[in-house]
Chain A
Amino acid sequence: MAKNIRDEFERWETSILKKTLSKAAEREPVFKTTSHIALKRLYTPLDTADLDYCDDFGFPGEFPFTRGVQPTMYRGRLWTMRQYAGFATPEETNKRYKYLLEHGQTGLSVAFDLPTQIGYDSDHPLSVGEVGKVGVAIDTLKDMEILFDGIPLDKVSTSMTINATAAILLTMYLAMAEKQGVKSDVLQGTIQNDILKEYAARGTYIYPPLESMRIVTDIFAFCKNHVPRWNTISISGYHMREAGCTAVQEVAFTIADGIAYVEAAIRAGLDVDSFASRLAFFFCCHNTFIEEIAKFRAARRLWAKIMKERFKAKRDESCMLRFHTQTAGCSLTAQQPDNNVVRVAFQALAAVLGGTQSLHTNSRDEAYALPTEDSVRLALRTQQLIAYESGVADLIDPLGGSYAVEALTGEIEKRSMEYIEKIETMGGAIKAIESGYIQEEIAESAYQYQKEIEAKKRIIVGLNQFQVEEQPLKDILRIKPEVEQYQKQKLARVKKERDNAKVREALAVLKRAAEGTDNVVPPILEAVKVYATLGEISDTLRDVFGEYRER
């Protein structure tokens, strides 16, 4: 007769294990993940005995998508290698895009500078010193035309990290594509358009939450009819994780935000199955390898259940959590920057083992500045090594069924759900953000993390242990101060050459739509086509919606 696992486990614990522990204690009394989950020494079939294969894991491409969202996963097509890039002028960034595509990148990802993200033109007083610094400066359709010059938009998908001004940048992209002769129904890409997490972390909001949510749902409605293959939102845990929250909090806060968007869209009159399949997600991949893999699997299962059970989605596609991953910027160290290459490789591998749809790998020099051409190529090569040499892309969800991975997947799902239920009792994500709850949770975790590092309870190689005497990294990317002047001159030229009467008329139409209940996206599209500036469009909406101030 087969031996009983429980009896055998107890025998092992009391005989073999006990003998070893009596001679030498383990390194720590308790081993915990970043989410404070106390890890067992060993996971066995006993830890997964309660799980039902068909209900809890299922098969790839099927509800609840624990094992992946596509039936063939990377055997069919590799994840999209999508390096987030943008700096200085559209002219310079266009060159970087062509460089990345030449080296085998398969999708584009646009980083905009802060004035563009917050709705100020390059000549605004608050833009001084910020133009072109953290991304590319876009003032008018003219800049968008330069940014994508010579890039085949019918072949390359484009992701844009843009939130408060997402409607403006999306419509500029559509108008520019039309000029290139590419129809909007073939365009593929993503706008981040996740304003809620901007109040919780990173802070590129303009308008108050409710008015911002109206723009978000207007975009959903517009894209459903005009840009059907576009991901209308990328519900992002990345920035909250970078601001310091744990893996469990990342899943919980992201999905709580996701619930708020679905509710808002349903309230705006949209049928859940008409937009849910265009919702995408964006997560961070940090250092703790197994916890991160489990996190992605847990998020997929949790979202699938919420969509089906709570929102009564009928289509499987509506329940599918598709996501982009970026390795953790906050894990990079300025000390011994070559160590970052190794960190990023492990994080990227975890993202792939977790089933990501697209991936950005950070560069070794990003604790100093935006990456140089050489370092971004090495980051891209890291993905290519995983894809073509490691073999992990040749089978589906290879860690599925691991006792530890499945147990942690279940634990993360359970703990995330507890957070989500708590947020529900507060009235949902918007209320939890307005009350500062989510911000406080993030700040508390960030502080604890820093204290652990300083107390050496958490070892960061090269930072608090294994240090060397070293010189700071040289040869980092610098944004020339002339960029600001160049953008301002170009903007002045556009304003001089355009038909200003048409601009005034377009902005007046937009204002009326904003004051009423009409969808604001079509009038924004008309305004960008006549070269109204990003700042002018944002100011028009500021007049109607007001501005949000941090509490």
Chain B
Amino acid sequence: MARKIRVLIAKPGLDGHDRGAKVIARALRDAGMEVIYTGIRQTPEQIASAAIQEDVDVVGLSSLSGAHNNLFPKVVQILKEKKAEDILVFGGGIIPVEDIPALKKAGIREIFQPGASTEDIIQYIRENVKTT
């Protein structure tokens, strides 16, 4: 039997708008995943450490303050330095479309825009994480 997918939902930076992060965390949990939510105001270092410590398959980053270009790539970079580049990192929030190519190049595998459904995100994770 396939094991449960483990997900860390994280809020990097100073932004405290956590409605989206909490809704996603709850939806993934209802979809049968094991979800850890970091709470707000986490540094990239804290997020990467938590991801490794909790042995997650996926990290979901949420930011609405416009600091994503600084913060998202740092999380991926630290994961790489700690030899945890197999963890899939995706993001969401208020992120202008023209920022997406650079974020993807930096290793954020997918960006979900305002209006994305929790179903889209659940499906994306299921298709991209191997659990066997």
- Name A's B-contacting residues (CB within 8 A): 114-115, 117-118, 120, 126-130, 133-134, 198, 201-204, 242-244, 330, 333-335, 367-369, 443, 446-447, 450, 453-454, 463, 472, 476, 478-479, 550
Contact = CB atoms under 8 A, between A and B. Distances in A.
Interface residues of B, number: 30
A427 B106 CA distance: 49
Interface stretch (B50-58, B78-86, B114-122): B114-122
A476 B80 CA distance: 33
A149 to B, nearest CB: 26
A243 B19 CA distance: 5
B65 A114 contact: yes
Interface string B113-132: 11101110000000000000
Given A130-B14, A130-B67, A550-B40, A333 B96 contact: no
Of the listed residues A203, A204, A368, A454, the one surrounded by the most CB atoms of chain B closer than 10 A to its CB is A203
Contacts of A198: 16
Nearest to B39: A550
16 contacts: A114-B65, A126-B43, A129-B67, A129-B70, A130-B65, A133-B67, A202-B17, A203-B16, A203-B40, A243-B18, A334-B113, A443-B23, A446-B19, A454-B117, A479-B66, A550-B39
Q: Is the interface of B mostly helix, strand, loop or mixed?
A: loop
Contact of A369 (B18, B22, B94, B118): B94
B109 interface: no
A28 B114 CA distance: 29
Interface of B: 13-19, 22-23, 26-27, 39-41, 43, 65-67, 69-71, 94, 96-97, 113-115, 117-119
A447 B26 contact: yes
A513 B99 CA distance: 47
Contacts of B43: 126
Nearest to A462: B115
B92 to A, nearest CB: 12
A115 B14 contact: yes
Contacts of B114: 333-334, 367-368
Contacts of B118: 450, 454
A118 B41 CA distance: 11
Contacts of B113: 334, 472
B101 to A, nearest CB: 13
A114 B117 contact: no
B3 to A, nearest CB: 26
A133 B66 contact: yes
A443 B22 contact: yes
Nearest to A443: B22
Contact of A446 (B22, B69, B71): B22
Contacts of A453: 117
A243 B26 CA distance: 15
A126 B14 contact: yes
Contact of A368 (B14, B39, B70, B94): B94
Nearest to B95: A368
A453 to B, nearest CB: 8
Contacts of A446: 19, 22-23
A198 to B, nearest CB: 8
Nearest to B11: A203
B13 A129 contact: yes
- Which one of B23, B43, B66 has the highest number of Cβ atoms from chain A below 10 Å of its Cβ? B66
Nearest to B12: A129
A243 B39 CA distance: 14
Contacts of A128: 70
Nearest to B116: A334
Nearest to B113: A334
Contacts of B26: 443, 447
Contacts of A454: 117-119
B115 A478 contact: no
A201 B20 CA distance: 12
A338 to B, nearest CB: 15
Nearest to B100: A472
Nearest to A471: B97
A117 B65 CA distance: 13
Nearest to A203: B16
Contacts of A242: 17, 19
Contacts of A114: 13-15, 65
A133 to B, nearest CB: 4
Contacts of B14: 114-115, 117-118, 120, 126-127, 130
Given A203-B18, A454-B117, 8 more contacts: A120-B14, A126-B14, A130-B66, A244-B23, A367-B114, A369-B96, A443-B22, A450-B23
Nearest to B16: A203
Nearest to A366: B94
A242 B94 CA distance: 15
Contacts of A550: 39-41
A117 B41 CA distance: 13
Contact of B41 (A203, A243, A335, A447): A203
A164 to B, nearest CB: 11
A165 to B, nearest CB: 13
A133 B14 CA distance: 11
Contacts of B22: 443, 446-447
B43 to A, nearest CB: 7
Nearest to A243: B19
A244 B18 CA distance: 10
A130 B13 contact: yes
Nearest to A453: B117
Contacts of B13: 114, 129-130
A476 B65 contact: no
Contacts of A203: 16-18, 40-41
Contacts of B97: 472
Nearest to A135: B65
A368 B66 CA distance: 10
A134 B65 contact: yes
A453 B27 CA distance: 13
A540 to B, nearest CB: 20
